[in-house]
Amino acid sequence: MIAARRISGALGAEISGVDLSRPLSKADFAEIKRLWLEHLVIFFRDQQLDERQYMAFAGQFGEPVEYPMVRGLAGFPKIIEVKKLEHERVPFGGIWHTDTAYLERPPMASMLIAREIPPVGGDTLFANMYLAFDSLSPGLKKLLEGLKAVNASTKADASMTREDAMKNSGKETKNYSAEHPVVRTHPETGRKALYVNECFTSRIVELDRLESRAVLDFLFRHVERPDFIMRWKWSVNDFAFWDNRAVQHYAVPDYQTSRRMSRVVLAGEKPGSPTRLAPRRKQS
């Protein structure tokens, strides 16, 4: 039987009782989807998936899509390696962010499986953006709702974290930019989440330059509050699956050895599109 153990008060659960290398039953799929929406990020220990099995699992939850900045694995272009080698300066994802927010349709979900981890360090932090919005004052909520922000792939903080990966990829890339709501309504839960991040959000459209900088600087620090965050210490073959629409994450750069992960993202909707609430679980 599938069981869930909560990891923190903010978000996150460790799921046991399922082998992701095999097709899920309808009941197991429904339960995992429910737990994912409830806990925002879920983890499965000791999942020994090859690339074909990885893609098969991902395809049960959505449409895997290619990452625009780095070439995927040979034969599996929608799986990329997220890695930092010993000589590289900055880990991929070493800043608070939600994946590829610079796209018109950012991915709804991200999946990560640990292939190689450092002996010490290399944890990942996850932050709950529902809580980040809910904890704001009524006045600030009123100001932020209805505003839009520009998210750009060329922001300096973002470029720094993927510099080594792009250099070694050999993939031609272009610059991306998209405007998204500062406060996003989750299309399946109907809950509101803060949707700006330090990695990609460059300015708020409706504010002047100084106002935008002041508001964003506050929000970037606000999302880092300890009561919004959980920390995951990786083991080889750990599998993480998080909701990109309501979670930010940060790869902690506290190690000097290699760290290698495999990542898949699932196609999402344009932020601000109509809500399609997930069905409620029947009460027994």
Lowest average pLDDT, out of 92-101, 103-112, 245-254, goes to: 92-101
Structural domain contains residue 172: yes
Residue 94 pLDDT class (50, 70, 90 cuts): confident
> Does residue 140 lie within any of the structural domains?
yes
Residue 277 lies inside a defined structural domain of this protein: no
For residue 50, tell me if it sits in a domain: yes
Number of structural domains the chain divides into? 1
Query: What would the mean pLDDT of 91-114 be, rounded to a whole number?
Result: 92
For 39-76, write each residue's pLDDT tens digit.
Answer: 999 999 999 999 999 999 999 999 999 999 889 999 99
163-190: pLDDT as tens digits: 544 455 555 568 999 999 999 999 999 9
Per the domain annotation, does 279 fall within a domain? no
In a domain, 284, yes or no: no
With cut-offs at 50, 70 and 90, classify the pLDDT of residue 77.
very high
Kindly write down the DSSP assignment for every residue of 211-273, as one continuous string: HHHHHHHHHHHHTT-GGGEEEE---TT-EEEEETTTEEEEE----SS-EEEEEEEE--PPTTP
**Lowest pLDDT segment from 13-17, 171-175, 230-234:** 171-175
Tell me the sheet residues that pair with 239. Answer: 44, 113
The 229-232 sheet, strands edge to edge:
229-232, 124-128, 247-251
Judged against a pLDDT cut of 50, whether residue 283 lies above it is answered with no
Q: List active site positions.
A: 97, 99, 249, 263
Mean pLDDT value of segment 127-150: 97
pLDDT at 159 > cutoff 80: no
Which range has the worst mean pLDDT, 124-128, 160-164, 263-267? 160-164
What region, left, alpha or beta, does residue 146 occupy, with left being phi > 0 and alpha being psi -120 to 50 degrees? left
Question: Is residue 281 in a domain?
Answer: no
**Is 218 a member of any domain?**
yes
Indicate which CATH number applies to the domain containing 181.
3.60.130.10
Q: Give the whole-angstrom CA distance, residue 246 versus residue 134.
A: 12
Task: Note the pLDDT of residue 88.
Answer: 64
pLDDT on residue 160: 52
What pLDDT, on the 0 to 100 scale, is given for residue 272?
84
* The pLDDT of residue 243 is above 60: yes
- pLDDT reading at 90 higher than 70: no
**250-273: average pLDDT:** 92
Query: 103: domain range?
Result: 3-266
- Work out the percent of the chain whose per-residue pLDDT is above 70: 87
Helix (H, G, I), strand (E, B) or coil at 160: helix
The pLDDT of residue 161 is 47
Write down the pLDDT at residue 64: 97
